Structure 1
Amino acid sequence: MNLSLNNKVLSEVLAPQQGAMLWAKKAALVIAGILFLAIAAKIKVPMWPVPITLGTFAVLTMGAAYGARLGMVTILGYMLVGAMGFDVFAGSSAEKFGLSYMMGGTGGYLVGYVLAVLALGTLARAGWDRSAPKMAGALLIGNALIYVPGLIWLGMLYGWDKPILAWGLTPFLVGDAIKLALAALLLPAAWKMVGRARG
């Protein structure tokens, strides 16, 4: 697949775009992104068969809006905050947090978060975030990059004789479909608003 990586991502069209203020903007975006990821991870919407958490939605949309480079700084900053023991992950609690939580059953999904941010940022740079169908394709790729290491991690941690797919995949598919549909509409809509503001 030949990608032309010449498009701006959403974060780059926000002023300022040069000088010291550009670096201040980037720092503010990283801090805001970490807070966004932390808050979204804690939001649970009642749904069948399991509640929908907004962590993956936040990771994928942030990756597309920030681009690969700024997105990677943000997601790694988020991981660092979590590793330091702050309660920023979906299932972490006062009983289990920090590195002990990250090395548990969720560890592979956290690796997948990093891969997904890189993929979404790259595809957004290629312009896939400008239309709903392409954005949906990018989100499917990002979601797969979260699940593959997540399921491999579960299998290696608990054994392949366990119901790994029933634990780590199938209960979340309905919620993920809803989140992906929402994100596929959100990013192109944001670009349309940017176009109107400039016009």
Structure 2
Amino acid sequence: MQLTKNISQISIIKSLLAIILGSIALTISAKIKIPFYPVPMTMQTFVVLFLGISLGYKIGLASIGLYLFEGIIGLPVFSNSPEKGVGLIYFTGPTMGYLIGFLSAGFLASKINNKDSFLLVLGKLIIATSTIYLFGLLWLGMLIGWDKPIFELGAKPFLLAEVFKIVLLALITKQIVKIRNFII
């Protein structure tokens, strides 16, 4: 009985540590800008997908949720904060849809498994990433108006970087899933 309780406590501590580390990884990925064409690239979407694949949907979504909560309460965790604001005001700005899309992308990425072929992994990652842009463009359109070139403003400049990140992640996904299955 005591052994079961200790194992349960260790499991909870392990999960909390993974959630916190996932949130930290997302924050770091938001702050580092990599020179890329046509706009600088962050690795946020890569880390969102990575968290879903490596931690599964419960812990992965909790990590993403903690990151969003930290930003909403005013911690400067988002890509352009504190330069362009913090807290709820920043969160409800032009990037809110993309940030909310992180949750759907992390969830969908968690559905990748060891039996998936490279092409299936690639397809699942494309769909997961597409949800980020779907939510992002919907929010952006509501915020600035549908008469503006929403796709050209909110997606097109980032697509080349997304292709790079998706292919990179697809190449290492089998190893990530093996490690996840070994640890969990």
Residue of 20, 24, 30 corresponding to 1:41: 30
Q: Deviations over 1:90-145 (max 9, x none)?
A: 12224511111110000000110111111112x13xx2685432221111011111
* Aligned residues: CA RMSD: 2.1
Confirm whether residue 81 of structure 1 aligns to residue 67 of structure 2: no
Deviation at 1:84, TM superposition (A): 1.2
Contact 2:15 / 2:59 at 8 angstroms: preserved in 1? yes
Residue of 149, 155, 159 corresponding to 2:141: 155
Q: Tell me what 2:122 maps to.
A: 136
Specify whether residues 129 and 117 from structure 1 end up closer, same or farther in structure 2 by C-alpha distance, changes over 3 A only: farther
Q: Tell me what 2:106 maps to.
A: 117
User: SS of the counterpart of 2:38?
Assistant: coil
Identity %: 37
Contact 1:85 / 1:97 at 8 angstroms: preserved in 2? yes
Q: Tell me what 1:97 maps to.
A: 86
Residue of 28, 32, 51 corresponding to 2:21: 32
Whole-Å separation in 2 of the counterparts to 1:129 and 1:173 = 28
Specify whether residues 154 and 52 from structure 1 end up closer, same or farther in structure 2 by C-alpha distance, changes over 3 A only: same
The one-letter amino acid paired with 2:78 is F
Whole-Å separation in 1 of the counterparts to 2:107 and 2:179 = 25
Contact 2:54 / 2:176 at 8 angstroms: preserved in 1? no
Confirm whether residue 177 of structure 1 aligns to residue 163 of structure 2: yes
Q: Deviations over 1:24-60 (max 9, x none)?
A: 1101100100000000011111011001111111111
Whole-Å separation in 2 of the counterparts to 1:38 and 1:194 = 22
Contact 1:139 / 1:184 at 8 angstroms: preserved in 2? yes
User: SS of the counterpart of 2:78?
Assistant: coil
- Using structure 1 for the length normalisation, give the TM-score: 0.82
Segments of structure 1 that go 5 or more residues without pairing to the other structure are 1-17
